[in-house]
Amino acid sequence: MTQENQDGVHSHAGFVGVHSHEGGAPHWHDEFGEHLFEDLSAEEFAARQLDWRKHNVQIVTVGIDIGSSTSHLMFSKIYMQLVGEAPDVRAVTVAREILYQSPIWLTPYLPDNTIDMMALDEYFAEAYGAVDATREHIDTGAIILTGEALKKVNARTIATLFAREAGQFVVASAGHHMEAVLAANGSGTVARSRRDQRTLLNVDIGGGSTKLALVLDGHVIATAAVAIGARLIARDAEGRLTRIDGPARTVADELGITLTPGEPLAPEDERRIVQTWTDVIAGLVQRKPPEGLAAKLMLTDPLPDSPRAQAMTFSGGVSEYIFQREETDFGDLGLPFAKAIRNALNRNTFGLPAIVDPNLGIRATAVGASQFDVQGGVNAYVTDESTLPMMNVPVLAPGFELGDTTPPEVIAASIRESLTRADLDEGAQPVALSFTVGGNDLPDALLRTLADGIRSALPITTSGSAPLVLVVNQGFANRFVMPNQDFHILKEQRPALRLGMLLKEDLGVACDVVAMESVHLSEFDFIDIAQMMHPSEVVPVTVKSLLFAGGMDRRSVKQALIDAALKR
Amino acid sequence: METTHQHGHAERSHHTEDWHDEDIVNRWLERNKERAPQRRRQFVALRAFIPKSAEQEFRYLNLGAGPGNLDVVLLEHFPGANAVVLDTSLTMLNAARKELATFGERVEYIQADLSTPDWTGAVAGPFDFIISTRVIHHLRDPKRIRELYGEVRGLTGHGGTFLNLDYVRPARAELARLSEWITRDAEADFSGAPHNVADMPGTLQEHLGWLSEAGFGTVEVYWKQMDLALLSGINGHLHMPWGHGDDPARGHSDGHSH
């Protein structure tokens, strides 16, 4: 759709590169602005087209969210801009068109309390039918599995459902920590915190649990979860209890309430239960150390005492009721629970100065995955080439600052924290550790500290249970190195090579090591590493990133482009 | 102060109203529907002072947006406008959310209390306009209002304007009696206007002084109707849609560009 005003300036509803209208003058638009017509020659037009295609990618992606209470999926068209020159390229998603959103389904269960895969597959087939797409039309996808039951029982089964797309689809089984981080990203709280340089607390209240994520200047710095959720108690149309989960019994016992399947829940008892839930969440938001009932309901450690959040955001199914976007009773405690929370918010019981509505509620999650190939491949040190190719290796981005006085313990703790955030068990699968080190000179002593920290954080991996993937970014200094350059110069400029050799040859780790220079990666990225190419000794790398519903507002996108351009 | 409390019918209730009680807010929302047409006229008269063309993108913050009546008037008229609506009551904001649903992502909702400076922690400037209608007098404390003007100034971008439509106290107490007197002249049509404004926290002069003190280079009264005044504070130079100088469409331009 094109809109034109009297000055001959026009804009498009979608996102377009170099183009012309009905044989008119070729011209182009950036992702925001309106550009005046430019008279381009055929050669200039072709050059611009080529440049545009090199730096702009469009893909169709699907995000499938399977939770313990509800499931949904969404098809989107993604417009990505590649900022920077290979290999240090950053992909920024600049626009998203929603092609189709499924309804929110109650996740179907079999009598043995596992997910009914047949029923789920039928929902998905219906959704594909609705967009008139076959599975070949989809470039990428992300399947997010949440809820403890799913993680333990069904993850593999569900992954096989999408076996046909195994390559393009990333599958993340999210435990409490990762769920909290996904919700903070999905709701746009992370993007908002980065954009506004604020400390925010996202509270995601779902069917089975409540997840808290503390976000400082765009980084999730702490997460916590508690067994409070609207569907821990469910009832039929007549109000008779049909589901009473353990944590709901814990609360009822504490309050002296008897919950009996097939019996109704007295309104006064219902009020007391939702009020107790609200009080526990308020206590956690205020960072009171959980005691008594609150301690019993905790699924993780509580959040640290500081820093204090400047505002709170809500996501998850219950937030739809809090903000009164949804008023349908789904046979659980969603409505009364939200009313109790709303009253508490109106009276500022949560003790935070502001509440921001991220506007995404139950759909505050991953909406798919972006994907791009690093042009020309990446310089790599590989101890055993038969390790490659590797697919969908999850990326960890530990957040320490490497300085002269950083002890290896700090590095190890930071790596372990990043494993926790991703809910990954050390040694159970390969992981890619991504570091950014500053400055031109990287002394051996510093690299040795880094190597010691890695070995101590990953004892199982380094004893040979899985290959270790390392990615080292050296800010501005590190550039693509031509293979015919003198090895000593080459070595100086290749911190990943040096780190890999240190680990393998000096420290003698038993695992295979794949160490790559300068690929910009973030947490929740997954990478495919293809077989090494000779004689250039580079490996082709594909970066897949989880895409989130939030953070697509104009100001956040602008901030992301600036950050990418400045390599922040 | 006792004498002032003997006046006052309509606005008296502000002092006892608890904006944190969902039922009270719901009753207020019900009453609000009746006076909506009159308020819409005032909102349009405020809108007229926003020098933006339909295509121009701009961002405004509405402090104490209530159920979003002003925002409907603005967002419909300015397709390029994006709003941050802020209110102390979540229930009130939920009403605004329904009212403004058609504007989708153009609107952001924030619940915060203006009685302390903490609200600025959730709001990121700069804004082209910061607007507030009939809200700031609820703060009652002149000291807090002066602080708030400073906070607002801090969030106003270069060329940005603060528009505050609010009640002001008459310069002298006895002038309040005129408010009732003038309604006797039916032809003048001041009916429905009287308010108890004698205990409002500031006079017109005081508000203008506070705005200057907060750092607004230009302060002005755009209009005043009875005791309701539209005050403005401009940060730097006013930006007209065509830049500096006269409107070229009106032919005032002398042909030179500056």
Name which of A140-149, A332-341, A494-503, A536-545 the model is least confident about.
A140-149
| Mean pLDDT to the nearest integer, B198-211 | 92
Per-residue confidence (pLDDT) for residue B4, from 0 to 100: 34
Q: Which residue has the higher pLDDT, B144 or A80?
A: B144
Among A98, A320, A356, the residue to mutate for chain B (most B Cβ within 10 A): A356
Contacts of B121 in chain A (CB under 8 A): 198, 310-311, 353-354
* Cβ-defined contact of A357 to B97 (cutoff 8 Å): yes
Per-residue confidence (pLDDT) for residue B17, from 0 to 100: 56
Q: Which residue has the higher pLDDT, A523 or A320?
A: A320
If you count them, how many residues does chain A have? Answer: 568
Give yes or no for residue B118 having a pLDDT over 60. yes
Interface contact B18, partner A, CB < 8 A: no
* Cβ-defined contact of A355 to B94 (cutoff 8 Å): no
pTM metric for this prediction: 0.82
Give yes or no for residue A320 having a pLDDT over 70. yes
Per-residue confidence (pLDDT) for residue A474, from 0 to 100: 73
* Cβ-defined contact of A310 to B110 (cutoff 8 Å): no
- pLDDT tens column, B16-43: 457 777 788 888 888 877 777 778 888 9
Q: Which residue has the higher pLDDT, B129 or B195?
A: B129
Per-residue confidence (pLDDT) for residue A35, from 0 to 100: 55
- Name the residue among B97, B108, B113 with its Cβ closest to that of A324: B97
Beta bridge partners of B243: B240
Contacts of A343 in chain B (CB under 8 A): 22
| Mean pLDDT to the nearest integer, A151-160 | 57
Per-residue confidence (pLDDT) for residue A24, from 0 to 100: 64
Interface contact B20, partner A, CB < 8 A: yes
* Cβ-defined contact of A343 to B22 (cutoff 8 Å): yes
Q: Which residue has the higher pLDDT, B171 or B178?
A: B171
* Cβ-defined contact of A355 to B22 (cutoff 8 Å): no
Query: Percentage of chain B with pLDDT > 70?
Result: 84
- Name the residue among A310, A325, A345 with its Cβ closest to that of B111: A345
Per-residue confidence (pLDDT) for residue A150, from 0 to 100: 62
| Mean pLDDT to the nearest integer, A535-555 | 86
Per-residue confidence (pLDDT) for residue B26, from 0 to 100: 81
Q: Which residue has the higher pLDDT, A405 or B36?
A: A405
Per-residue confidence (pLDDT) for residue A23, from 0 to 100: 61
The residues in B 167-206 lying below 8 A from A, measured between CB atoms, are none
Contacts of B89 in chain A (CB under 8 A): 346
- pLDDT tens column, A456-468: 999 999 999 999 9
- Name the residue among B19, B21, B111 with its Cβ closest to that of A355: B111
Contacts of B109 in chain A (CB under 8 A): 323, 356-357, 359
Q: Which residue has the higher pLDDT, A283 or A161?
A: A283
What would you report as the CA-atom Rg of chain B, rounded to the nearest whole angstrom?
19
Output the average pLDDT for chain B.
Answer: 84
Q: Which residues, at least 6 apart from B128, have a Cβ–Cβ distance to it below 8 Å?
A: B52, B58, B59, B60, B157, B159, B160, B161
| Mean pLDDT to the nearest integer, A31-60 | 71
Give yes or no for residue B183 having a pLDDT over 60. yes
The residues in B 33-72 lying below 8 A from A, measured between CB atoms, are 55
pLDDT tier at A338 (50, 70, 90 boundaries)? very high
DSSP state of A470: E
ipTM: 0.79
Residues of chain A with a CB closer than 8 angstroms to some CB in chain B: 5, 195-198, 310-311, 322-325, 339, 342-343, 345-348, 353-357, 359, 553
Q: Which residue has the higher pLDDT, A511 or B241?
A: A511
Residues A75/A554, Cβ–Cβ less than 8 Å: no
Closest Cα partner for A403 from A438, A434, A433? A438
User: Which DSSP string do the residues of A295-332 spell out, in sequence order?
Assistant: HHHBSSPPPPS-SPPSEEEEESHHHHHHTTS-----SB
Per-residue confidence (pLDDT) for residue A226, from 0 to 100: 97
Per-residue confidence (pLDDT) for residue A323, from 0 to 100: 92
A&B contacts, CB < 8 Å = 78
Contacts of A216 in chain B (CB under 8 A): none
Per-residue confidence (pLDDT) for residue B2, from 0 to 100: 33
Per-residue confidence (pLDDT) for residue A66, from 0 to 100: 86
Q: Which residue has the higher pLDDT, A458 or A360?
A: A458
Per-residue confidence (pLDDT) for residue B72, from 0 to 100: 96
Q: Which residue has the higher pLDDT, B18 or A210?
A: A210
Per-residue confidence (pLDDT) for residue A362, from 0 to 100: 72
Beta bridge partners of B63: B86, B132
Output the average pLDDT for chain A.
Answer: 84
| Mean pLDDT to the nearest integer, B123-138 | 94
Per-residue confidence (pLDDT) for residue A482, from 0 to 100: 46
Write down the H helix ranges in A237-380: 246-255, 267-285, 292-297, 317-322, 334-346
| Mean pLDDT to the nearest integer, A118-132 | 83
Give yes or no for residue B198 having a pLDDT over 80. no
pLDDT tier at B12 (50, 70, 90 boundaries)? very low
In terms of CA atoms, which chain A residue is nearest residue B114?
Answer: A353
* Cβ-defined contact of A198 to B121 (cutoff 8 Å): yes
What 3 state SS string does chain B have? CHHHHHCCCCCCHHHHCCCCCHHHHHHHHHHHHHHHHHHHHHHHHHHCCCCCCCCCCEEEEEECCCCCHHHHHHHHHCCCEEEEEEECCHHHHHHHHHHCHHHHHHEEEEEECCCCHHHHHHCCCCEEEEEEECCHHHHCCHHHHHHHHHHHHHHEEEEEEEEEEEECECCCCCHHHHHHHHHHCHHHCCCCCCCCCCCCCCEHHHHHHHHHHCCCCEEEEEEEECCEEEEEEECCCCCECCECCCCHHHCCCCCCCC
Give yes or no for residue B192 having a pLDDT over 70. no
| Mean pLDDT to the nearest integer, A128-155 | 72
Contacts of B94 in chain A (CB under 8 A): 323-324, 342
> How is residue A484 written in tokens?
């015919």
Give yes or no for residue A55 having a pLDDT over 70. yes
* Cβ-defined contact of A311 to B110 (cutoff 8 Å): yes
Per-residue confidence (pLDDT) for residue B242, from 0 to 100: 79
Name which of B11-20, B54-63, B101-110 the model is least confident about.
B11-20
* Cβ-defined contact of A346 to B21 (cutoff 8 Å): yes
pLDDT tier at A83 (50, 70, 90 boundaries)? confident
| Mean pLDDT to the nearest integer, A224-243 | 94
- pLDDT tens column, A473-520: 875 444 444 444 444 444 456 889 999 999 999 999 999 999 998 888
Min Cα–Cα distance to chain B from A172, Å: 29
* Cβ-defined contact of A311 to B121 (cutoff 8 Å): yes
pLDDT tier at B13 (50, 70, 90 boundaries)? very low
Give yes or no for residue A104 having a pLDDT over 70. yes
Per-residue confidence (pLDDT) for residue B75, from 0 to 100: 96
Contacts of B110 in chain A (CB under 8 A): 311, 354-357
Q: Specify the pairing of strand A378-382 against strand A538-539.
A: antiparallel
pLDDT tier at A159 (50, 70, 90 boundaries)? low
For residue A22, count CB atoms less than 10 angstroms from its CB and return exposed for 0-12, middle for 13-18, buried for 19 or more.
Answer: exposed
Min Cα–Cα distance to chain B from A264, Å: 27
Closest Cα partner for A472 from A550, A341, A379? A379
- Name the residue among B20, B90, B97 with its Cβ closest to that of A355: B90
Q: Which residue has the higher pLDDT, A173 or A441?
A: A173
Per-residue confidence (pLDDT) for residue B47, from 0 to 100: 96
Query: Which of A222-231, A483-492, B4-13 ranks highest by mean pLDDT?
Result: A222-231
C-beta atoms surrounding A48 within 10 Å = 17
Query: Percentage of chain A with pLDDT > 90?
Result: 40
Helix, strand or coil, per DSSP, at residue A131: coil
Closest Cα partner for A514 from A479, A539, A490, A489? A539
Distance CA A25, CA A38 (A): 7
